[in-house]
Structure 1
Amino acid sequence: MAKRDAIFPAGEQALYEINRYSPAIRSGDLVFVSGQVGSRPDGTPEPEFERQVQLAFDNLQAVLEAAGCSFEDVVDATTFHTDAAAQFETISAVRLKAIGDPPYPNWTAVGVNWLAGFDFEIKVIARVSARAEAV
């Protein structure tokens, strides 16, 4: 069996070491990104919700870039919400700014009651584009 091709963004992200997981795994031309939350570099949650969502997308962008991808390469996204009805408008504004123009990736939103102190999490699958592989 081939060894996992783990992807780590530049800089410190304490959550990866604290919880012992890889930010992403590349398999062929697909990148499977672990759930990204709005954590500060020390792993603690950002208390202000809109900023927490923005940090989750910033952390996701850093992982995608480390894999040679961008939001344009995302084909599937799953988000987890502790209070989806109350959070939807804020999340949508940040999401649409990050994801960009259509066609949009698949999207599944799941309501949960616990995210280890966080209120939002996003995980994605991206396809490494031919332009990234040529670099």
Structure 2
Amino acid sequence: MAMREVVFPEGRQDLYNRNRYSPAVRANGFLFVSGQVGSREDGSPEPDLTTQVRRAFENLNAVLFAAGCTFEDVVDVTVFVVDPESNLETIWSVVPEFWGDAPYPALTGVGVSWLSGFHFEIKVVARLPSVFSSTITKCPDDSV
């Protein structure tokens, strides 16, 4: 069985160890990032939704950074939201601080009833820039 190439950011190890998962795994030129929540260093949820969303993005960015990526490398996003009818406007007011400019990544939003005390979770797939920058070439006829 092949070993997983796991990426761990600085800190927050309690959450990953307690729940038995890896923050991200590198495979085939991509980084698959586990769902990131707005947890404090000890793994507990931030009580304020706006702060929780900011912290989820900060935690996501820490995982991306540990793998040599930024949010610009993200190609696919899945967000999970508890009670989206009540919470989505607050969440989307924070997103532009981290999201960047168009073109945006692909997005799937899922309304859920439970996230273990959290109200927002973000999971992404990013391309590994070092892999793609060394393997992408132009088409011979320069048409693409």
Give how far 1:79 is off. 0.3
For residue 69 of structure 1, what is the aligned residue in structure 2? Answer: 69
Partner of 2:34: 34
Q: CA deviation at 1:11?
A: 1.9
Q: Deviations over 1:38-73 (max 9, x none)?
A: 000001111011000100000000000001100000
- Equivalent residue, structure 2, for 1:4: 4
**Structure 1: segments with no counterpart, 5+ residues:** none
Hey, what's the Cα distance between the residues in 2 that align with 1:67 and 1:43?
21
Alignment deviations for residues 79-114 of structure 1 (CA, whole Å, 9 cap, x no partner)? 000011221122112222211000000011100001
| Aligned partner letter, 1:51 | T
- The letter for the 1-side match of 2:46 is E
**SS of residue matched to 1:121:** strand
Report what 1:119 is aligned to. 119
* Partner of residue 140, structure 2: none
TM normalised by structure 1 equals: 0.93
Q: Aligned runs of 1:1-135 on 2, under 5 Å? A: 1-130=1-130
Query: SS of the residue aligned with 1:34?
Result: strand
TM-score by length of 2: 0.88
Identical-residue share of aligned pairs (%): 57
Give the count of matched residue pairs.
Answer: 134
CA, structure 1 residues 40+132, in 2 after alignment: closer, same or farther (shift >3 Å)?
Answer: farther
Distance across 1 between alignment mates of 2:115 and 2:121 = 8
- Structure with larger Rg: 2
Contact 2:38 2:121 in 1 (8 A): yes
Runs of 5+ consecutive residues of structure 2 not aligned to the other structure: 135-144
